[in-house]
Structures are given as C-alpha cells and as structure tokens.
Structure 1
Amino acid sequence: MAQDQKDQSGFALPAPQTSGANAVSAAAGSSSTTVTQTEAITSTTANVNVDTSSRDLMIGGAILLVLFIVFFFARGAYANTLVAKRVPPNKANAAGWWLFVFLASLSVGVVLSAVNPARFLAPLIVGPLAAIALVAVVLMLLSGRK
C-alpha cells in the first residue's frame, strides 16, 4: 500500500534558488510555487506555437541528408533492376528518379513531423508532400513499364 501512495504522489518541482531575504519568503510559499511551476509547465507543453530549436532542425536536416544519399543509391539499384527486366534504360532511369522523389517526399514529411508535430503536421504542409508522393509513385509505376 505504501508503494502505491509513493507512485501516485506525482512529480513536484523544487523551489527556485533565491538569495537573502527572498529565501525566507520562498520557503514559506514553496508549496504554492510548486503548483504555479507545474501549471506553467503544463501550459507550455500544450502551446501549439512552440518554437523549434535550431538544434532540432539541424539534426533533422542531417537525417534527411543521410536518407537522400541512401535513396540515391536505391534509385540506381531500382533502375538497374528494371533494365535487367528488359525495360528501356531511359524509362528505367526515369522510374528510378520518380522513386527518389517519392521516398524523399515521404522522408521529409516524417522528419518534419518528428521535429515539431504541432507545427509541421498542418494540412498546408502535409497536403503538398502527400500530393507529390502520390504523383511520384504513379509516375514511377507508369514509367517503369516495358
């Protein structure tokens, strides 16, 4: 029973560090300060317009760069596979590039939604990326025919 009470006690933030005369008044009002800080944290996590840090964007950009390099090699492999299946080389190359565009648009959408879902999962961002991916996959399939 004691373990259940300990698990359900919640998370309490420590009182901020103050100096001199403020320390006495801070110690007296520490319980109200903890509630206020908890409410402030709750309100900031629910804020939709949270700014994305440049560090998160740089990490997302680095992930996209690595994925684009991988997709470039996948494009070549797909084109070579189509040529081995007797598809003309120019059509196979076009299908490979459409595969690259398809994979790139999907990965951009996934990385942006991981970086800041509140901002980048908006219909004005997801809609065009989905439309580009859909057009690219249709053109990839059409141009990959014999």
Structure 2
Amino acid sequence: MAQDQKDQKDQSGFALPAPQTAGANAASAATMSSSASVTHTEVFTSTTTSVNVDTSSRDLMIGGAILLVLFVAFFFARGAYANTLVAKRVPPNKANAAGWWLFVFLASLSVGVVLSAVNPARFLAPLIIAPLAVVAVVAIVLMILSGRK
C-alpha cells in the first residue's frame, strides 16, 4: 500500500488535457468534476518542424514605407553633415562624398533593422545580415576617411 501511494505521488503533477471537440467538452466537464482524483498525462509532440517564414505583403509594404521615410530623413542629414564639414574647412567635394557615405551607412543599417523587424526568421539569416553589415562598416570607414581635411 505504501508503494501505491508512492507511485501515485510520482505520477501526480501538471498534465495537459487531451484535445476535444466542442460537443464532447460539455460531457467531459461533467465527468472531470466527478473524477477529479484520476490523473492522466500525455506527452506533447510538435507537428511543425520548420519556422513559419511567410511574410504578408502588408508587412512588407509597411516596412517599405518606413524605409522610404527614413531615406528622406537620411538625405537631409547627408546635406547637413556635408555643410558642417564645409564649415570646418573641408573641401566641398570631399565633404559631399563623406555625406553620401553617411547616407549609405545609415541606409544599410536601417534596411537591416527593418528587415529583421518584418520577419526575423527569414531576414536575420547571416546570408542577408552579413552583407548589410559589411556595407555599413565600409561606408563608415570611407565616411571618416573622406571627411578629413
């Protein structure tokens, strides 16, 4: 008898109920209340093996609109940065080049962030993020080098 109590104690714990249809829910609710002392455990097995990577066109359009707004803002930031460099006695052609490299840097970073927000399962892959990161690093280095006097 002590062994039965030990086995019953080992088997007690949290268990998910089996999935049921709507008609069986009412009947099972009555039986569950009457047989509350019976424990039943089931093992959950996942039926999906891959991550859902479908991105709706609505999400992509929202991401594209956000990128368009950011690109317009970055264009004005490019001009302001170039004017700041000209005020610091950097030749205008070098200042303009540094401004465009700033634009490329900010654009590549924002594309990576927006893509990862739209669908991380698909767009956070190293095959997509790594080239964007390389472009960003090259652009920041060239921006600094071309912004010198």
TM-score (structure 2 length as normaliser)? 0.70
* Other-structure match for 1:79: 82
Deviation at 1:48, TM superposition (A): 2.0
Match of 2:65 among 39, 43, 62: 62
Distance 1:29 1:90, change over 3 A: farther
1:53 to 2:56 alignment: yes
Provide Cα deviations, 1:34-75, integer angstroms capped at 9, x if missing partner: xxxxx79x866x842420000000000000000000000000
Match of 2:106 among 103, 106, 113: 103
Q: Which has the higher helix share?
A: 1
Alignment of 1:1-146 (within 5 A): 24=23, 47-146=50-149
**For structure 1, which runs of at least 5 residues remain unmatched after alignment?**
1-14, 17-22, 31-38
Name the Cα RMSD after superposition.
2.8
Deviation at 1:24, TM superposition (A): 3.9
**Corresponding residue pairs, total:** 119
Deviation at 1:139, TM superposition (A): 0.3
Task: Check conservation: 1:68, 1:104, Cα contact below 8 A.
Answer: yes
Distance 1:81 1:60, change over 3 A: same
Q: Which has the larger radius of gyration?
A: 2
**For structure 2, which runs of at least 5 residues remain unmatched after alignment?**
1-19, 30-43
Task: Check conservation: 1:48, 1:119, Cα contact below 8 A.
Answer: no
* Other-structure match for 1:9: none
Q: Which amino acid aligns with 2:71?
A: F
Q: Which amino acid aligns with 1:76?
A: G
Task: Check conservation: 1:79, 1:95, Cα contact below 8 A.
Answer: yes
Distance 1:100 1:134 in 2: 13
Q: Which amino acid aligns with 1:95?
A: A
Provide Cα deviations, 1:85-127, integer angstroms capped at 9, x if missing partner: 0000000000000000000000000000000011100000000
